[in-house]
Amino acid sequence: MSRYLEMLSLFGVAGAHPGGLAFTKTVLRKAALPSNLPILDAGCGTGQTAAYLGHLLYPVTVIDKDPVMLEKAKKRFASEGLSIPAYLANLEELPFSSETFSAVLSESVLSFSHIPSSLPDIYRVLKPGGMLIGIEAALKKPLSGAEKKKMTDFYGFTELLDEAEWKQTMMQHGFRKTETIELHQENTDHEPTTEMDLSLSIPPIYYDTLQAHYELMQTYSEYMGHCVFFAYK
């Protein structure tokens, strides 16, 4: 795991993707999932999105490969009176039977996984006609080879794709249709875009990592963005 991901875990950063929970809510409204459909939050982090879905009475299940993040999610669920099944697992080996979920949600998680293994397993656990909802890092403009390596090394991305490459990747792994969605951020609830649940002890190096992240995002703001896609089984 990259130091960047370790930093997110120790700081308990929720909604690390641009726009945070407010943007996620916009994406979920666009997806318009019926409230009785089982959803897997694949890489739930501190459980912010899963708690939101739980309060809307969706039957949601979560996984995360980071035990620190998963404990923070469980603490959130307990404090909010939610009973949400939570599993320590990764996207490449999902601990569920085939055709279990009607939707799988990935918020800045696929980019850090081994995609040739994670996408087939996500496809496996989706019901026929099910939907993968992705909010993932995406290049807005091409980077040089050296710059791309700098970004992947720092963040721990296994892939750094543009929107067209995300669509092609979905098709290569069996999804019958992929729509990329253009959405403007809505924040009618005036929510903070970033929420933190700090660990008791955070070594100073992770504060340096957070600062380096801010500097990289500023330097590469013309190149680094995100894309939203709905991929259908």
Strand 86-88 relative to strand 60-64, pairing: parallel
Full-model pTM: 0.93
**Four-way CATH pick for 3-232: 3.40.50.720, 3.40.50.150, 3.40.50.1370, 3.40.718.10:** 3.40.50.150
- Residue 13's nearest CA partner among 155, 193, 189, 154 is 193
42 CB-contact burial (10 Å; exposed 0-12 / middle 13-18 / buried 19+):
buried
Residue 167, CA distances (Å) to 172, 178, 231 in order:
9, 6, 8
pLDDT in tens, the chain (233 residues): 899 999 999 999 987 777 789 999 999 999 999 989 999 999 999 999 999 999 999 999 999 999 999 999 999 999 999 999 999 999 999 999 999 999 999 999 999 999 999 999 999 999 999 999 999 999 999 999 999 999 999 999 999 999 999 999 999 999 999 999 887 655 445 555 578 899 999 999 999 999 999 999 999 999 999 999 999 99
Q: Where are the domains of the chain?
A: 3-232
